Amino acid sequence: MTLPFHNVVLTGACGGLGQALAHELIEGGAQVALVGLDVARLDALTALAPGRCAVYTPDVSNSAAMQSMAIDWMARAGVPDLVIANAGVAGGFDTAEADDLAVLRRMLEINLLGAATTFQPFVKPMRAQQRGALVGVASIAGWRGMPGNGAYCASKAGLIRYLESLRAELRETGLTVHTISPGYIRTALTAGNRFAMPGLLEADAAAHQLLAGVSAGREQIVLPRRIGWLSKLLNLLPEKLHDQVLRGQPRKPRVGETGATAIPGLSDKHPPT
């Protein structure tokens, strides 16, 4: 696939979807700012095109660090025409457990605030050149709350509304804003799930569909499309019946439980029991 993007900033470049996106962008000839925390993985991606990539390891919720990254990248490569806020974390959540409040806070910082800190340094330069795409990777989990997954659902629902607001603000400026709502993608974030994952998509296929959709100008992209229809059908159920169906499913592992994924920056002084 020939991509119309030549200068790209990609956060979450270490994860399954992020690595797949990076591979396709690099193979397409783009210059790519690779933002993540696993230096070894980022260096391996950079080795694919040493002259076209740069590695950055800021905390995406740290606005000063993200601004420094943006300044350095634009000095190297110019103003990007595509910025993908892909960094995200997931994990189970139990409001009855005090320690889980830290999980909620950190998840909001990475999944929601992290998108804003990713976009913010580039909006004015991109608006000045009157072109470019801002992409936020949300989730169909943001369409409806799910038992045991309140922190993740809240962070992705907030991201969806934030992207809606940003899209309205930037209309007629030449910039486009794209909301990506994946269902289940085979990555480290879903590896520990103990429930059925209908429509499970391989990361390479998800990355290809995402970039194809953005290239075509689609503002709302569900991966895969059929999982979006399934979710909408479930949401037609009466509230009590919908809740009963979901309550019968195994919960996503909480931090500290078998199968849980690490959440960067989360204090381990008081891990959930």
H/E stretch holding 33 reads strand 31-35
Tell me whether residue 57 is in a domain.
Answer: yes
56 classed as catalytic: no
Output the six-digit token pair for 98: 């005090």
Tell me whether residue 2 is in a domain.
Answer: no
pLDDT digits (tens, 9 = 90+) for 21-46: 999 999 999 999 999 999 999 999 99
CATH assignment at residue 213: 3.40.50.720
Q: Which of the residues 56, 152, 162, 184 is marked catalytic?
A: 152
- For 115-218, strand residue ranges (E) read 132-137, 175-182
pLDDT digits (tens, 9 = 90+) for 164-219: 999 999 999 999 999 999 987 876 665 555 555 656 789 999 999 999 999 999 99
Instruction: Tally DSSP H helices, then E strands, for the chain.
Output: 10, 7
Task: Look at the chain and report how many structural domains it folds into.
Answer: 1
Tell me whether residue 252 is in a domain.
Answer: no
For residue 82, which phi and psi values (nearest 5 degrees)?
-150, 125
Tell me whether residue 77 is in a domain.
Answer: yes
